[in-house]
Amino acid sequence: MKKIVKGNDFTLRIPVSRMFNGVAEPFPLPGCTDIVVNVVSSYRRISLPFSIDVSDDHIINARVEGDAIPRGTYALEVKGKFLGNDWRSNEYEQFSIVDNNASGDTAFTPQEGEDSVLMNTALIILAPDVALGGLIKDAESAIAKVDEKLADVDSTVGEALRKADAATEQATTAAANANTQADRAKAVAEEGMRLNQSVQTAENMRIQAEKDRGLAEEGRSTAESKRQVAESGRNDAEVSRVSAESMRKTDESTRIRQEAERKTSEEERIANEVARVRAEETRAASEQQRVSDEQARNDAEAERIKAAKENKAATDQAVKDCQQAVADAKVSVRFDHASKSLIIRTGKE
């Protein structure tokens, strides 16, 4: 039994044979009608689409879609009609659908339309009245018996000359038997001709089916051409997609680089802003210190001016006192501010 992993699409190649004289011989299918191919499990019966092989007309190619058949064990059921009589195949388990590769024993090469699995021969059971070979054999046997009877008649002719009465009676009996066998042989021959006509009809049907198959093959070729055109379009679209993806990757790389440059510039701007804020804080602190120093300088300058005024007032007072004293002593005294010196002149001068 073949074990196939679930999900694989494949074709079942089913040879169909019949037993004749204990020997299996290929059973031509184009002369049959109402052919049905089923796979049967314990719970369901699934019908498969099929076609008859072109080179071997006793082989059925049945297509199996991997997603249409659940996990389980399956037997093949092939049935149809031949010359208006139903026939069917023996039904026994031939393959199973399993979950994973470890459980399977049938490997596929992923090439579309070429994955196939050869099944065991489906032996068919025919109704007795369509066994054409048996009818022909019976006809030959009847003809042989007629020949034997005729030989017996020939052998008794001499005896009939000596024994006229006995020979006449035996000849009459032999003739009657020969006529009976001849009638039977004629009936068998007519039946054979009828069956030959049925075979010819089946052959005509086979020829028509072959023509239909040829038309179907032309349709398949047309569909294959369309598929190839569509595949070409898909390849072109894939090339365009790959090109667009390459451009997108290039644009994305450019965007990432520009984003990195923007982040670097932003970091530099932030660093410069921090440095500016720190410099501004330092400048503000320096300005505050300058204002404080300027205020201290102004205070010192005010103190100096005040001290200068007080010194000048004291000096002026001293000068006045001195001048008064000089005046009393007839001495002139003058303070020269430019040279910051005291000029004393006596009255004698």
Helix axes of 132-155 and 164-329: crossing angle, nearest 10 degrees: 160
- According to DSSP, the residues that pair with 46 across neighbouring strands are 39
Cβ–Cβ < 8 Å for 77, 88: yes
Distance CA 120, CA 342 (A): 149
Mean pLDDT of the chain: 78
Confidence class for position 56, pLDDT limits 50, 70, 90: confident
Between 343 and 248, where is the model more confident?
248
What's the confidence (pLDDT) of residue 175? 60
Confidence class for position 181, pLDDT limits 50, 70, 90: low
Is the pLDDT reported for residue 165 higher than 90?
no
Between 72 and 200, where is the model more confident?
72
Residue recorded with tokens 């410099």: 279
What's the confidence (pLDDT) of residue 266? 93
DSSP string, 135-171: HHHHHHHHHHHHHHHHHHHHHTHHHHHHSHHHHHHHH
Report the predicted TM-score, pTM, of the whole model to 2 decimal places.
0.38
Is the pLDDT reported for residue 279 higher than 90?
yes
What's the confidence (pLDDT) of residue 199? 66
Range in 74-83, 190-199, 269-278 with the lowest mean pLDDT: 190-199
Q: N- to C-terminal Cα distance for the chain? A: 159
Across 333-349, average pLDDT: 66
Cβ–Cβ < 8 Å for 77, 40: yes
Angstrom distances, CA of residue 327 to CA of 299, 314, 341, 346, 349? 40, 19, 19, 9, 14
Distance CA 327, CA 324 (A): 5
What's the confidence (pLDDT) of residue 139? 46
Across 36-42, average pLDDT: 90
Across 273-301, average pLDDT: 92
- Counted residue by residue, the chain has a size of 349
Q: Is 69 exposed, middle or buried (0-12, 13-18, 19+ CB in 10 A)?
A: buried
Among residues 77, 82, 64, 91, the alpha carbon closest in space to that of 6 is found at 64
Across 338-347, average pLDDT: 68
Confidence class for position 222, pLDDT limits 50, 70, 90: confident
Amino acid letter for position 324:
Q
What's the confidence (pLDDT) of residue 171? 58
Between 206 and 291, where is the model more confident?
291
β-pair type (331-336, 2-5): unpaired
